[in-house]
Amino acid sequence: MSKYRHIDSLVGKFLDGRTTNAEEQELYRWFATADVPEEWVDLKAMFAWYRDGMPEMESRVESASKPKPRFSLSLRRGVMAVASAVAVLLVAIMLWPSSREIDVYDGSYIIDQGSYCDNIEYIQEDIESLLERADELERRSDQLLALAD
């Protein structure tokens, strides 16, 4: 491999991106004309690709620059219908009264002394108390499970 020391050095510089144009031309010529060692066969193909102007890359660039086909009329109408629906929904959300609060207890009720009561103002304290008790029970069960492990 000592007879290829100079080329090996240039290949290293090339792969590190440190070669000059003249050094790259030397590599292209050498790999095009020389019988290369078996471990450099892939490099020979790579340098031929660079020497030939990276032909696959050019075809990709050409195909990327071609104009894209336009939407079909039915697809365009569908997109417009969805965009219109989204716009209407956004306007409705913006115009919805912001002072209106969402009542998380809406639909709740209790049976108080045998009678049905769904007056939220009356039962809200009971609901919140039950939720606090449920949270406490959950904390206790988590502690017991941790102890069991």
Q: What is the pLDDT of residues 85-130, one digit of tens each?
A: 888 888 777 776 555 555 666 777 778 788 888 887 887 887 788 8
Q: 8-12, 43-47, 95-99, 139-143: lowest mean pLDDT where?
A: 95-99
Angle made by CA atoms 85, 91, 95, in degrees to the nearest 5: 145
Helix (H) and strand (E) counts in the chain: 6, 2
Q: Is the predicted pLDDT of residue 148 greater than 70, yes or no?
A: yes
Q: Is the predicted pLDDT of residue 46 greater than 80, yes or no?
A: yes
Helix/strand/coil for 148: helix
Dig out the tokens for 99 from the structure. 């002072």
| Extended beta strands in the chain, E state | 110-112, 115-117
- Could you tell me the residue ranges of all domains in the chain? 2-65, 110-148
Q: Is the distance from CB of 109 to CB of 116 less than 8 angstroms?
A: yes
